[in-house]
Every structure is written in structure tokens, then in C-alpha cells.
Amino acid sequence: MCAMSTNSKSEKPNGAKLLEGKPFPVSKDCAGFKGVGQFKKDPLKFYRNNQLKHGNYVCNPTMFGYEFYTLYHPNAVEHVLQTHQKNYHKPDVFLKPASLLFGNGIFTSEGDFWMKQRRLSQPAFHRDHIGRMAGVIVECVEKMLARWDAKPDGSQIDLQHEMVYLTLSVAGRTLFSTDLTDHATDVGSAVREGFEVLNHRMNNFPFVLPMWLPTRDNRQFKQAKSVLDSVISKIIADRKSSSEQHHDFLGMLMAARDEDTGLGMSDAQLKDEVLTLLVAGHDTVAACLAWTWISLSQNPKIRSQMHDEHKSVLSGRNPQLADTQGLTYTRMIIDESLRLYPPAWGLPRQSFEEDVIDGYLLPKDAFISLNQFTTHRLPEFWDKPEEFHPERFLPENIKNRPRFAYFPFGAGSRVCIGQNLALLEAQLAIATIAQRYEIDLLPGQNIEPDPTFTLIPKGIVTAAIKRRK
């Protein structure tokens, strides 16, 4: 229960040491049907208002008899994700729905099994190996731009769809040495349809119908999962039947052996890991790129400054890996885009044991919500937080903020394994595209974030692509 009295000591039997802490402020925002409905309708707005009304540490009792704790302060982020991470795990409200799509991959597994899979996967994401992917990323961008070149100047595009097309192409080539562009529409649609069902099941957990019932949502999910499984199965089958050596991520996963047992991944586990890499490896980067182009279109002075950097560093040629060190402003633009619109916009956790966080007493088995979307907008750490200012990420400004005021890829041992690949892809893609095209939003569009699992622009965002001279 939320601590509502002045008694701030936990009770432990057998003379065990008592933890002491302040009680959490209590919110009634989810105590009735109206509050629960508002939370489900617009969770981003709920979390922002929750913090503004009650502060950085809040206990939220619900009408269903349980409560959840919202922790917004960077100190809490550091405590839960890094310094005391062993006391926290992903809760069933997240794992059970997510595992329907991702199986027991690295995204959804826990404990010793997760640690084993992380250890097997880690070499595939070594910085040197990722660096060798730079040329492949630029090739994929060039392939997309060749399609754009065939269009009349000023043609309109569905921005999110184009970025999914690009990042799925990159994921196929870098992860599996496979061209997946023919599957872009099917895979992109299947991912979003799957996410919609997972989002519904998470928001209504545990009061959800079993998957074996032939409801509309269940049929939609099974069809989406079938599309993804079919693509994954073909990727693995083609690799196993090929005598050609591939030094990509799939090849490294198939060759990986546990240093203690000497065993590799089972076929079922390999399939789960490949699906996790495919979905996470393209969907989040596509969202980052879409939001970046939106922000650049809305901030022409920033876009002009970015062009100046590209002209100075690249002089019209395509970027290479070594150039990324000089594309510092482009990287700051990406960081600012990830601040305002983090693709992974919230992290659920649950405590194994009671704990004290920043002086507040947290009970055992407490459900916790960390929220990048809100923490990245706290006015005490971000001046004019709703505005787009890449200069926030100048070294001198970074030093003046707590480290965990910004955590788009999570933190601790479960930090996103593909972080470096995602940032490299975004930086190379923006530098390649921006030298050839201006991407301008068509006027009159009300662009809002859609928090259905990954944070993407809601609906279709239409943009005109104009060749730069």
C-alpha cells in the first residue's frame, strides 16, 4: 500500500533491520474510471500531469486495488537501473504480453537465462564490428535515394513509411546479409499491428481474454506474428542451407558458444533473438529518423547550421565511419530528437525487496514506472524543455546535468545492446540524405506522438522531398 501515514518504518520479522524513509506523495489520478480512462487514452499526458501536480516521486492507487509508483528524478533512474538494479526486474504486466511477440529473446528474458543470452550476443555488437557496417548503411541510404531521384522534384512521401523502408533495409543487410526491402510494407504493418495488441494487453493486464479465443485482436495479432515468423524462418533457413561464410550478426549469433558449457543457441532461441533484433533494430531507428526530420523541418535555422557542418566536413561526398567524429552537430541533433521523442518512452520495473530511493520508502513487489518522456522534460534540468535545442548536448552543458536526466537507451546492464549501431545508422543516414534533399512537412498537419509501444508520429506524416542544389 502507499505510505499515507507518518509511520515511515518498514516492518520485518525476526529482528531484521528496519528500513526508514519518507512516504510517497499520493495521487488520486487513477482512483476512478475517469482517471483510468484518461491514462489509457493519453499516457504521455498522464505522466506529464502526474509529475507537474505531485512531483518526482508519486504513488498512484488505482480503482482495481493495486498501486504503481512513478519515479521521474534522475536519482531514481540511476538507483533502479544501475546502482541497485539487482533489486528490480521487468514485471509480468510487461513480460507476458511482450513475450507473445518476442518469445524468450534478450528483450523479454530475465535472470540467469537473460545473462547467458546477453553474453552470447554481446560480441556481435562490439564497436569494431559495428564500425564495419558503416559502408553497408550508406549503401542502403543510396538505394532509397535512387528511388527518390526517380520521382519528380517536390514529390510527397509518407515520412514514417520511408524511414521504416530504409531502416528495415539496413537491418536486413547489417544483421542478416539479406535484402528485406521487398518485405518492408508487410513487416512494418505487422510490427505496428502486433504492438497495438501488446499495448492493449499491457493496459488491461491481467483482465485480458486468452489468446486462444478468436477475437478480432487475437486474430490480428496471430496474423501479424505469422508474417514476422515467416520472414525470420526464411532468413535462418537460407543461412543454414548456404555454404557461404557471413560475418554479420546472424553468423556471430549462430557461431557463439557459452564459455562455461560450450553450447550455442537452440533453434527456438535463435529464432526469438533474430526476431528481437529485426523488430528492435529497425522500428526504433525509423522513429528517431522520422522525428528528426520533423524537428528539422520545424527549425530551419538548425537545419541550415547542420548543412554548414556537412559542407565543411563532407564537401558533398557520402560520409564514412571516420567522418562521424567531425559530425558533432548532427549527433547533437539526434540526441535532442531522442530527448524529446525517445522511441522507448517508458520502462516498467518491479522490486524484489523493499528499498529506499532518494529518501522515499518503496515496498516489496512494488510496480514502478520510469518515464523517459517526462524525465527528459523536467524543467529543473532542461531549460525550455519543449523546445528543440541541439546545443543542450554541448560538452559543457552535459556536465551541468545529472547523468540520468537523459536515458533514451535505458541504463545499467540492460542498456540497449544495439545503442551504438542505432546512433551510427542515424548519423550516417541524416548526413547522406540531407546533402541531397530537403524534407519539408506539408502545412496544416497536426503532428502528435503515438505511444503505442514505440513512440512514433501518429497517423501519416506527409512531407515534400526537394533536391538540394
Confidence of residue 428 (pLDDT cuts 50, 70, 90): very high
The pLDDT of residue 115 is above 90: no
pLDDT at 10 over 90: no
Q: Is 343 helix (H, G, I), strand (E, B) or coil?
A: coil
Burial tier of 329 (Cβ tally within 10 Å: 0-12, 13-18, 19+):
buried
| Alpha-carbon distances of 227 from 101, 166, 230, rounded to whole Å | 11, 19, 5
SS3 label, residue 216 = helix
The pLDDT-based confidence of 8 (bands split at 50, 70, 90) is low
Q: In the predicted model, is pLDDT for residue 279 greater than 60? A: yes
Burial status of residue 277 (CB atoms within 10 A of its CB: 0-12, 13-18, 19 or more): buried
From 43-57, 203-217, 358-372, the region with the lowest mean pLDDT? 203-217
Please give the grid coordinates belonging to residue 59.
Answer: 504513488
* Residue 4 reports pLDDT greater than 50: no
Kindly indicate the confidence band of residue 3, based on its pLDDT and cuts at 50, 70 and 90: very low
How many CB atoms are closer than 10 A to CB 160? 25
* More reliable by pLDDT, 339 or 247: 339
Q: How confident is the prediction for the chain on average, in pLDDT?
A: 90
What angle do the packed helices 419-434 and 267-298 form, to 10 degrees? Answer: 40
Give the H/E segment covering residue 450. strand 449-450
Query: What residues does each domain of the chain span?
Result: 33-113+132-167+278-410+418-467
| Cα–Cα distance for residue pair 155/442, rounded to 1 Å | 11
Q: 296-328, pLDDT tens digit by residue?
A: 999 999 999 999 999 999 999 999 999 999 999
Give the pLDDT mean for 174-191.
85
pLDDT tier, 41 (very low <50, low <70, confident <90, very high otherwise): confident
Question: Nearest CA to 388 among 287, 290, 283, 301?
Answer: 301
With beta carbons less than 8 A apart as the criterion, state whether 106 and 273 touch.
yes
The residue type found at 242 is S
Q: Report residue 214's pLDDT band, with 50, 70 and 90 as the boundaries.
A: confident
For cell 531521384, name the residue: 149
Q: What share of the chain is helix, strand, coil (3-state, %, to 5)?
A: 55, 10, 35
pLDDT of residue 429: 98
Q: What is the mean pLDDT of residues 448-454?
A: 92
The b/e string for 249-265 (b: 16+ C-beta within 10 A; e otherwise) is bbbbbbebeeeeeeeeb
Most confident by average pLDDT, 38-47, 130-139, 321-330: 321-330
**Is residue 32's pLDDT more than 50?**
yes
Give pLDDT, residue 6: 42
Residue 111 in this model has a pLDDT that exceeds 50? yes
Q: Which residue has the higher pLDDT, 389 or 209?
A: 389
> Is residue 461 predicted with pLDDT exceeding 70?
yes
Q: Are 161 and 145 in contact (CB under 8 A)?
A: no
Q: 306 with 434: CB under 8 angstroms?
A: yes
Q: Is the pLDDT of residue 1 over 50?
A: no
DSSP assignment string, 88-114: EE--HHHHHHHHHHHTTSTTT--HHHH
Q: What is the mean pLDDT of residues 128-141?
A: 91
Alpha carbons 57 and 366: distance in angstroms, whole number: 13
Q: Each residue of 369-395: pLDDT tens digit? A: 999 999 999 999 999 999 999 999 999
**Letter for the amino acid at 322?**
A
Cell of 39: 491514462
* CATH class of the 33-113+132-167+278-410+418-467 domain in this structure: mainly alpha
pLDDT score of 7: 46
The x, y and z cell numbers of residue 370, run together, are 520510469
Taking residues 201-216, report their average pLDDT: 81
In this structure, what DSSP letter does residue 444 have? T
pLDDT-based confidence at residue 12 (cuts at 50, 70, 90): low
Q: What does the alpha-carbon distance between residue 390 and residue 403 come to, in Å, rounded to a whole number?
A: 17
Going by pLDDT thresholds of 50, 70 and 90, the confidence category of residue 266 is confident
Q: And the C-alpha cell for 229? A: 515468423
In DSSP terms, which residues pair with 61 in a beta bridge? Answer: 67
Note the pTM of the prediction, 2 decimals. 0.92
For β-strands 437-441 and 88-89, DSSP reports them as unpaired
d(CA 96, CA 104): 10
Backbone angles phi, psi at 133, to 5 degrees: -85, -5
- Residue 118: phi and psi, rounded to 5, are -65, -40
Rounded to an integer, what distance in angstroms lies between the CA atom of residue 343 and that of residue 345?
6
Better pLDDT: 251 or 355: 355
